[in-house]
Chain A
Amino acid sequence: MSDSGTAHAVEVTINGERYERTVLARQLLVHLLRDTLGLRGTHIGCDTGNCGACTIICDGKLIKSCMMLAVQADGAEIETVEGLAADGELTTLQKAFNEHHGLQCGYCTPGILMSATYLLRHNPNPAEAEIRRAIRGNLCRCTGYVHIVESIRAAAASAAEEAAR
């Protein structure tokens, strides 16, 4: 690689697995995930932090991984879409998206799922307006958001039902 800029060692934990890599100073976190580590479920749609296709959870916070340098993630605990159904069993949220047609082309879906996972972790029973606010940083060009909102609401209801059992 001929890239200008200095190289830095970073260590990150992604979906429970530890990785040590050398990255260039200007490498974005999303490129570390996608290109260096091959975790291609996290997508890129805009380069400017507007679209949310690259949304992940980093140290418990919801972030857009195109807005962070890979070196800044040194020591971080990261959750990506690949970690949701870690054992091959879809999560309640993923199942709800399948049952309520919450995705079409699927390109925004990983980012939306991470935003919704974060929402339900902090607000297990969100109102429609809260769901819409929680995904306002994720663009979807296919669904008009209606079925996405329904899917998230249904996931919250299923989780509540399971908890009551």
Chain B
Amino acid sequence: MSGTPVTETTLERVEQSEHLGRWSGKSIPRKEDRRLLQGQGTFTDDGGHIHMGYAQFVRSPYAHARILSVDTARAEALDGVYATLTGAEVKELTAPFFQIAPEPGGKIAEYCLAVDKVRYQGDAVAVVLADSRETARDAAELVEVEYEPLPVVVDSIAAAAPDAPILHDEVGSNVVWHGVYDYGDVEWALQEADHVVKIDRLHFHRFSSTPLECNAAVVNWDPGTGIVEIFSNNQMPMFASLVIGPALGIPSNSLLFRSQDIGGAFGIKIGSYPQITALALLSRKAGRAAKWTEYRTDHMQSAGQGNERTFRNIEVPVMSDGTILGFKVEAFDDAGAYLHYEPLGAVIWSQVVPGCYKLKHIQVDFTETVSNKCPTIPNRGYSRLQHLWMIERVIDIVAHELGFDPVALRKTNYVQPEDYPYRTPNGCVYDSGDLPRALDMALAAIDYPSWRQRQQELGTGSGKRIGIGIGTTLDSGTNNFGQARIINPDLPFSGNGEAAYVKLDLYGEVNVNLGTTPQGQSHETTAAQVVADILGMSPDAVSVSVGFDARHNTYVAFSGTYASQFAVTGLGAAMGAAEKLRAEIIKVAAYALGAEEEEIELNDGSAYVRGDEERAIPFIGIANLVYSNVAALAPEIADSVSLNCRHVYRPPFEIPDTETKTGNLTLTYASQTHACVLELDEDTGAVEILDYAVADDCGRVINPSIVTGQVHGATAHGIGAALWETFEYDEDGQLQQSSFYDYHAVTALDVPHIKTSHLESPSPFTPNGAKGMGEGGGAPLHAICSALQDALGEGAPVVAESHNHWERIYRLLHPESGALRGVEVRSR
């Protein structure tokens, strides 16, 4: 076997806090709710500035065109217009955005407005600032842009062809990244296998979780201080700072990001940094703040869409007992017109190389291209759900083609409970889990045997079909940013972390402030739960600062809310800071009470001497001694406490091996196992979900109700994507779904009741046993495709698309005669 050796990273079991338990693990109602239920949240469009204009971007109607001229004279002549900004000015004023890609992709010169060419329908060529949003819109219509249309490419495989129209001349090709991930010895496995299942093509479509609140920002370039104040709903402000600062040529501490309530983000709101850059320039030029809120059509066209991936020439070696040895595949990822956060998607999927299975021999030939479509941006389940969907399709197709029971085949190949911590072929460590039990729980919840029986009873001739599907998935959380080096070895990124402050205020109040930018994930509540446990008080008495403010929140460059990690990184930071504050409180209390530190306990906002609860000092007394009565404290104690405690949680990562593309890429692996029952109408392709169940395992649960809510939300997104939600471009690169009329975001009638059950396999590697779990791994896409394949039965075409609206289901039910099934089996 010629496989490359795997980097032997070591991960040690982490000592977990002894203080958690009284409040952690309970479904306490959320601290966030009171303001939000009364319409008293502050979202970005609720904000403003005393001296402000409204911005409107001018967008290209063409998917690919040369910009011959941009004339803003008529717009500027309109009464109420403060300023305009064009790509030509931007090129003079800024440097191109930093690129993650190595060359050739790294040669892309992207500015915050299109300069010489537009590369997708919706590409911004200019921006206007005016005294009202209506005037700004009128003025944008008056900006005259002359275009010379160019040939368009909207498919990743076509874009990679040598004769394709080139988007970025400086790159010389549309291929922005290519690499082969090769683990074990797949050629040996294909030779030795009893069967080889070959699947022609699987295609994972474009969609977006489309947060209900669009992107928005109020940006003010203060001429006196040079500070750029940014009140926005960007969910990764430190990443935005790293990109915007060098583009504008200003230090990162001149960019003051602030946010309060964010109306959903799901990854999409990582992508607003180009617009924020343009707004900063516009504000400086106009001498007033620039407020921008996307219209929904702006959002659909240009905010960012999830990664589209085409898999072809899939070969799967299978033994006669059902053991699947691995797979070989070519993957083409379509990043859209520019690389926003990409090409990180070309490595992020490798956090879950074998999916939930003990596959050993895997080769993925990965190509990422640009195309004349909206740039992609990480969307819930980013890059892993595409890969996991492909693996789940492989499992079901193998079961169908070779006559294995899909439940038994999964159980045979799952990573088993006794295998954890399980090292994958590329060196990732799956921390804990019990996949067979999770599958049993999901199947029990839908009463699997009775549906199988009803499926049989239904037989043929009823005009209906029942399909039962399974989707097992992983939600890998807490990235090792060192994986970026597998894409570009020169990138100075690795590890991960998050920061928090916990302090005792003047009257002994406890205040927590986080580096995160929550969008519904309930950070105020769960942070209060763990801090309350450590400081021996009620979460009601713990105040958590609302939102993020770079002026007084603490942060590291990884700060933000993305990628399934708050329960580990964010709570890890809050717990560490609370432990430090606890130690300081105990130190002061021991002095004040004339006791040993070991004798001090905390309860209900007081420190007391164990066994003698009369000897106590409330937190207000501690605060008094440190802040306003400091001469009463021994100097050596006064000098050693601050009651302002900062902690940075840092997971124990090492830098991956970029040669072998191996290393520990993620700290935790939550899992979700979905089971669903579909009914298809043979005459129309109409589909109805008859039953739906999820078994969730995200390690130790801090707040069960909140976890369940996240599971439901991720499930709804997956159901939407599988049956309703898609972004499609015609051959001219025109987006077909640019409002909620055409893009059918799922309603309460489309999402069924979701039966949810939990098992807890605590992570041995995190300070609280929890795992990040917000993204969910796209399991409904896996489960619904699985159910469709099941309903179609023997001899049917392969369900090769992740999105299956009724028309497509009809065609699967009624394939043209002689049409290829998309699969073949070679047996020894």
Contacts and interface: CB of A to CB of B under 8 A. Distances in A.
Nearest to B719: A144
A139 B78 contact: no
A84 interface: yes
B33 A97 contact: yes
B261 to A, nearest CB: 6
B709 A104 contact: yes
Contacts of B49: none
Interface stretch (A6-14, A130-138, A157-165): A130-138
A124 interface: no
Contact of A90 (B34, B135, B714, B751): B34
Given A85-B38, A101-B706, A146 B754 contact: yes
Contacts of A100: 705
A146 B747 CA distance: 11
Interface in A110-130: 110, 113, 128
Contact of A45 (B35, B39, B213): B213
A7 to B, nearest CB: 13
B321 interface: no
A107 B213 contact: yes
A139 B388 CA distance: 28
Interface in A1-57: 1-4, 24, 26, 34, 39-48, 50-51, 53
Contacts of B747: 135-139, 145
Nearest to B261: A106
B320 interface: no
Nearest to B298: A47
Contacts of A146: 712, 751, 753-754, 756
A148 B594 CA distance: 53
B213 A43 contact: yes
B753 A128 contact: yes
A149 to B, nearest CB: 7
Interface stretch (B351-359, B361-369, B401-409, B514-522): B514-522
A84 B713 contact: no
Nearest to B138: A4
A99 B740 CA distance: 31
Interface in B34-59: 34-43, 45-46
B267 to A, nearest CB: 12
Given A4-B138, A101-B30, A106 B36 contact: yes
A98 B741 contact: no
Nearest to A39: B39
Interface residues of A, number: 60
Given A48-B740, A101-B30, A103-B33, A144 B715 contact: yes
A110 B751 CA distance: 21
Q: Which of A26, A90, A101, A109 is the most central at the interface, judged by chain B CB atoms within 10 Å of its CB?
A: A101
Contacts of A43: 43, 212-213, 263
Given A46-B739, A48-B296, A141 B713 contact: yes
A137 B749 CA distance: 10
A59 to B, nearest CB: 20
A105 B297 CA distance: 22
B29 interface: yes
B715 A110 contact: no
Contact of B749 (A81, A105, A132, A144): A132
Q: Which of B27, B79, B138, B753 is the most central at the interface, judged by chain A CB atoms within 10 Å of its CB?
A: B753
A99 B29 contact: yes
B134 interface: yes
A149 B712 CA distance: 12
Interface of B: 27, 29-30, 32-43, 45-46, 78-80, 130-132, 134-135, 138, 209-214, 261-264, 266, 293, 295-297, 519-522, 705-706, 708-709, 712-717, 739-741, 745, 747-749, 751, 753-754, 756
Of all A-B residue pairs in the complex, the 9 with the closest CB atoms, nearest first, are A41-B39, A107-B263, A2-B80, A106-B36, A105-B520, A104-B520, A144-B716, A144-B712, A50-B740
Given A40-B42, A99-B29, 18 more contacts: A43-B213, A43-B263, A44-B293, A45-B212, A51-B296, A51-B745, A80-B39, A81-B39, A105-B211, A105-B262, A106-B520, A107-B212, A109-B36, A132-B748, A136-B749, A143-B709, A146-B712, A146-B753
Interface of A: 1-4, 24, 26, 34, 39-48, 50-51, 53, 80-82, 84-85, 90, 94, 97-101, 103-110, 113, 128, 131-133, 135-149
25 contacts: A1-B131, A3-B132, A4-B138, A42-B39, A45-B214, A46-B740, A48-B741, A51-B296, A51-B740, A84-B37, A99-B29, A103-B520, A105-B212, A105-B261, A105-B264, A106-B32, A109-B37, A110-B39, A139-B740, A143-B713, A144-B713, A144-B714, A146-B753, A147-B708, A147-B709
